[in-house]
Amino acid sequence: MHGGRDVANDASTVFDLVILGGGSGGYAAALRAAQLGLDVALIEKDKLGGTCLHRGCIPTKALLHAGEVADQSRESAEFGVKTSFEGIDMAGVHKYKDGVISGLYKGLQGLVASRKVTYVEGAGHLSSPTSVDVNGQRYEGRHILLATGSVPKSLPGLTIDHERIISSDDALVMDRVPKSAIILGGGVIGVEFASVWKSFGADVTVVEGLKHLVPAEDENSSKLLERAFRKRGIKFNLGTFFDKAEYTDGGVKVTLADGKEFEAEVLLVAIGRGPVSEGLGYEEAGVAVDRGFVTVDEYCRTGVPTISAVGDLIPTLQLAHVGFAEGILVAERLAGLNPVPVDYAGVPRVTYCNPEVASVGLTEEQAKERYGADKVVTLKYNLAGNGKSKILKTAGEVKLVQERDGAVVGVHMVGDRMGEQVAEAQLIYNWEALPAEVAQLIHAHPTQTEALGEAHLALAGKPLHSHD
C-alpha cells in the first residue's frame, strides 16, 4: 500500500505525475502537484528530503552555528561576559545536528502523507518516456519528472577513501575535529567547512585554483572574505591548480601545479557536486544529457514531451531553493497554469561561513558586460557605519550595482547575518527598484537592514551615516 492505494494489485493505475527523486526539487513538485489535484507518485531510494536535508544545507548550517557558539564562548570577554571554552564534544554536536534534521524529516514525511502523495521507497530506473521501474514494479505516468540530484565530485586520479581523503558527506559525520585540514576548493562548500573547522580549533588551508575564494561572487565580496579569513587565521592558496595527493605517515600531502606542497591530517575534496544521471535509463528514453546534466528549456522541459527535469540534475544554480522553485514550476505547468520561468539572476545566494556572503542580481563585471562599463554605477557602504553591526562586532560591506539612471541590478553583502538581509535585496532586484524608491523606505534602527537603506540613500545622492 502506498498513500492509501494498492498499486501492486492495480495494473491499470496511471499517475498524472511520477517523480524520480525525493530531494528539494522532487518533493516540492510532488507537494504542489498534489495540491493542484494531480495524482502523484514520488520515488526515492534513500530518505525523503535528499541532499539538502540530510547531507547538505541543514546539517552544514547546524555545524556552522555550533562553530559560532564556540567562537562566542572564546570571545565573550569582549562583551563583558565571563565564560570558558573547554573544547568541542563532537558527539554532542552531532546529537544537536541530527535532532534538527530529524524534526524537519518527520515534518516533511507528514506533509507528503497529508497531500495523499504515493510515496515509494526504492531505487528507480526510467524504463520508458512514461514509466519508472522500482522494486520490480512499474509506475506509469502521463508525465515523468527526473529529480535525481547530485553527489560530491572528485578529480581524475584523486580517490576519495572516506578516511584521509574525504568528501563533504564524510566531513558531516566525522567523530573528531581534525588537527589540520587541507580543503581542495574555495567555493561555497569549501569555505563553509573551512569556517566550521577553524571555529572548532583545526588548522585549515584552502586551495583554490582560481584567483579568488567564492569565485562566482562579486570580486569585492571575495576580497572582503579573504581579508576576514586572514584575520581568523584561515590560510588559503589561490591561483594555482591541484596536481596530486599522496599519503604520508600522518595524513596527506597535496602538491600543486607549481610544485608547492601542503600537508595535513585530512584532505577535504570540495570541488563541487556532479549530477546523478548515469545508468538510470535517461538517454535510452531519448533524454539529452550533456556532461551528466539533463538538458532542459526555461520551463524545465526535456526534448521528450512527457519528461521534465529539475534541481541539481540540470545545469542551473545548485541551491535547494532553486530546486523548490523549479519543482513548483513544473507542477503548475502540468496543472494547466501559466507559471513564469525562474530568473536565476534574481535568486538569492548565501554562503554561510563567518562572515556570511550574500548576494542577488548581477556582479559588477556581469553588469558591465550587459550594459557597458560607462553605464554601470557602484556604491559601497561599510558596516562600520551601522550601529547593530558595531554591536555584533562584525565587519563588511554592502555593495550596490546600478544601471546608470536606472534600477539596482545587483546587491552584494559581506558580514555576520547577511543571509538574513538578502530577502530585501531580492525584492529590490526583482522589482527593479530605483535607488530613490528604496531610499524613501524607513528601516528600523538599530538593525542590520539599515545598511541596505543607508546604501540606497547614498546611491540616491542623500547619504546619512556615510560620507559623500
Residue 239 CA to residue 400 CA, distance in Å, equals 27
Q: Is 212 a catalytic residue?
A: no
- Cβ–Cβ < 8 Å for 44, 18: no
Please name which of 26, 36, 12 lies closest in space to residue 333, comparing C-alpha atoms: 36
Residue 144 C-alpha cell reads as 515523468
CA distances to 47, 99, 106, 116, 293 from 174, in Å: 20, 17, 24, 37, 30
Residue 365 C-alpha cell reads as 563585471
The catalytically annotated residue of 445, 456, 465, 467 is 445
Element of type H or E holding 115: none
**Range 410-435 burial, b when 16+ CB lie within 10 A, else e:** bbbbbbbbbbebbebbbebbeeebbb
Q: What are the two backbone dihedrals, phi and then psi, of residue 358, each rounded to the nearest 5 degrees?
A: -130, 145
Residue 272 CA to residue 263 CA, distance in Å, equals 22
Q: Chain centroid to CA 357: how far?
A: 12
End-to-end CA distance of the chain: 69
Please name which of 342, 306, 302 lies closest in space to residue 324, comparing C-alpha atoms: 342
Question: What is the full DSSP assignment across 424-445?
Answer: HHHHHHHTT--HHHHHTSPPPT
Exposure on the CB side of residue 443, measured as CA atoms within 13 A: 21
Cell 538581509, located at residue: 421
Q: Are strands 266-269 and 180-184 parallel, antiparallel or unpaired?
A: parallel
Largest Cα–Cα distance in the chain? 75
Please name which of 8, 26, 7 lies closest in space to residue 17, comparing C-alpha atoms: 26
Report, as residue numbers or ranges, the catalytic residues: 445
